[in-house]
Structure 1
Amino acid sequence: KAAYRILGTSAGESAFADRVFQAIPFYKGHPWFLPTVQAWFNIRDKLGI
C-alpha cells in the first residue's frame, strides 16, 4: 500500500489517506528545545562521554 500511495495510484488509498500527521510532535516551527539540547551536549563534552 505504501508504494502505491507514493506512486499516487488509487490502490494506495487506505483509512489513513485523508489524515494529516505532524512531521515532528510538539514542534510548531520555533526551536524551543535547542537550548536544552545544546546544554546537554555541552555537559557531555565536558564530561568526556
Structure 2
Amino acid sequence: MDRLFSIAIALAGVAAGLLIATGHVADVAVPLIFAVAAAAGWRLQHRDWRSEP
C-alpha cells in the first residue's frame, strides 16, 4: 500500500508538470490537489503517534 501511494503521488506530480509544460495551467488544480492530499494522508498514516516521556 505504501508503494501504491508513492506511485500515485509521483504520477499526479508528473501529470501536473506535463499540464504546466503544455500550457494548461488551469487544469493543474486536480492533479496537484490529489498529490498534496495523498502526500498528507500518507504522511499522517506513517506518523508515530506514541509520545515518549
Alignment TM-score, normalising by the size of structure 1: 0.37
Bigger radius of gyration: 1
Higher relative CO (Cα under 8 Å, sequence separation at least 6) belongs to 2
Structure with the higher fraction of residues in helix conformation: 2
Alignment TM-score, normalising by the size of structure 2: 0.34
